[in-house]
């Protein structure tokens, strides 16, 4: 490919990339942000799109205070009253990448979105070095 043609091709690809809407990020608080606050502080600050915090908490003021304590920047804090509501929130808000520690919150998220399972003592047995799933969330392979 000729150099000019190559540059034009790269330019067109870059234009296409910049025209795409910035992906939205979603993060859980408990068992997630509190497991790796520095990672999520950095990730939320550099993320190019909107940042949603989706939490199964009822105390908004405490959630806001905790997020401020860890230095988490976000656009919107959404509290749900059931774990199963998170998948609907993720779809409704167009969240592209979502971090949570509970498979129950991730299993109904559609396949077009990326989900990241954060490891902690509630979902991983560090003595046995094995993931822990229930019959509803795991399948033995």
The binding site for Mg ion (CB under 5 A) comprises 28, 30-31, 101
- Write down the least CB distance from residue 61 to Mg ion, Å: 19
**CB of residue 140 to Mg ion, shortest distance in Å:** 24
Six-digit token string for 97:
């990448």
Q: How far is the CB of 118 from Mg ion (least distance, A)?
A: 8
Which of 19/28 has CB closer to Mg ion?
28
72 and 33 in contact (C-beta within 8 Å)? yes
Cα angle, residue 20 at apex, residues 19 and 25 outer, rounded to 5°: 140
Q: Which is nearer to Mg ion, 50 or 86 (CB)?
A: 86
Token pair for 67: 């997020």
Whether residue 124 contacts residue 131, with contact meaning beta carbons closer than 8 Å, is answered with yes
Give the nearer residue to Mg ion in terms of CB position, either 12 or 124.
124
């Amino acid at each position: 490919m000729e150099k000019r043609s190559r540059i034009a091709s790269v330019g067109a690809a870059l234009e296409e990339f910049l025209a795409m809407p910035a992906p939205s990020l979603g993060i859980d608080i408990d068992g997630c942000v509190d497991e790796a606050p520095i990672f999520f502080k950095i990730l939320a600050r550099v993320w190019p799109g909107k940042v949603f915090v989706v939490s199964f908490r009822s105390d908004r003021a405490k959630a806001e205070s905790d997020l401020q304590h860890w230095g988490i920047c976000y656009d919107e804090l959404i509290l749900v009253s059931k774990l199963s509501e998170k998948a609907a929130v993720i779809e409704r808000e167009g969240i592209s990448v979502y971090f949570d520690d509970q498979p129950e919150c991730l299993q109904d998220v559609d396949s077009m979105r990326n989900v990241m399972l954060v490891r902690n003592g509630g979902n991983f047995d560090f003595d046995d070095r094995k993931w822990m799933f229930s019959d509803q969330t795991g399948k033995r392979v």
